[in-house]
Structure 1
Amino acid sequence: MSTTPQVPGTYVFDTAESRRGRALNRLCGSLKHAENRAGFQADEGAYCDAYGLTAEQREAVLTRDWNRMMELGGSIFYVFKLAMLDQRSMQYLGGVFTGMTTEEFTEALRAGGRSFG
């Protein structure tokens, strides 16, 4: 049984998740370098294979299933590098993660965010 606190609707990025998502996060982290971004864009599938992603991680990256990447051990700090490559903002991802549009999420932030009761 896990002793990690659970908050409904969130992903807790603990040591186990870090290990599970290592290949995915290494791939996303590599995108900070221009030559790696070019290599990824030239052949996304081969780039995923070079990093040893699981079949599920590979599919999530190729289809840009942002929620699934998080479920498979992705860290938002690394996954965001892939989103930036696609010219997606943090507000866009926030909307995806909360089931809102980018505009709704941005407005919610301006209104003070959401609270957990």
Structure 2
Amino acid sequence: MKILVVDDMPLMRHVLINMLRQLDYKNVVEATDGLQALKLLRGQHFDLVITDLHMPKMDGVNLLDNIRSDEALSQLPVVMVTCEDSSDAVKQVIKAKVSGFIVKPFNMNVLSAQLNRFFFRD
């Protein structure tokens, strides 16, 4: 399973990637914003995207919109990670057809539960 982690905060990417590795997901690629993520997505195959909502250049909703409107990527699962608790923001993300939602702060159990929705593991 190949996972793309997208977050403009290096510490958050590091924490998320370490959690993924502890959960035995070893094939992880990182991007610093939605623009970089989109370039990677169009050049490589990924099984899942985990992205932050608020980022410069291209935020998580715009990235999600681009993924959903690209025929080659439209079925790719996307999990949004955010500290946003505004119902309007959450509704916007759901309307953009997000596959999963994780609210910061979160722990490994929360991440694992989200991943188990997409990957069946022995």
Q: Which bin holds the TM-score, normalised by the shorter protein?
A: under 0.3
- Computing the radius of gyration from Cα coordinates, the structure with the larger value is 1
Structure-1-length-normalised TM-score:
0.27
If asked which structure has higher relative contact order (CA below 8 Å, sep 6+), I would say 1
Q: If each structure's strand is expressed as a fraction of its own residues, which one has the higher value?
A: 2
Structure-2-length-normalised TM-score:
0.27
